[in-house]
Amino acid sequence: MNDIHTLLDLVHRGLGAALVPQTIAAKPQAAGLAVVQLPSDSGAEWVVSAVTAPMSAENATAVHLLELLTH
């Protein structure tokens, strides 16, 4: 997706999860979203954050994605 504000809106509506740079996760438009910092020992030379709507049974796919990313 090339429109970050639309991306964050879709995540707010529970229509997906997103991997975004930390600067995007810190935007006011991301307020209220769950943000999980990815482990720094992954060898990546840049910071990536995952944002999703607050955890609930309705967004089980996002919960599973975040579990995969944090383990």
Radius of gyration of the chain (CA): 12
pLDDT on residue 9:
93
Coil, helix or strand at residue 44: coil
pLDDT of residue 34: 87
pLDDT, tens only, 21-63: 889 999 999 999 988 887 777 665 666 666 766 766 667 777 7
What is the residue extent of each domain of the chain?
4-70
Per-residue pLDDT at 31: 93
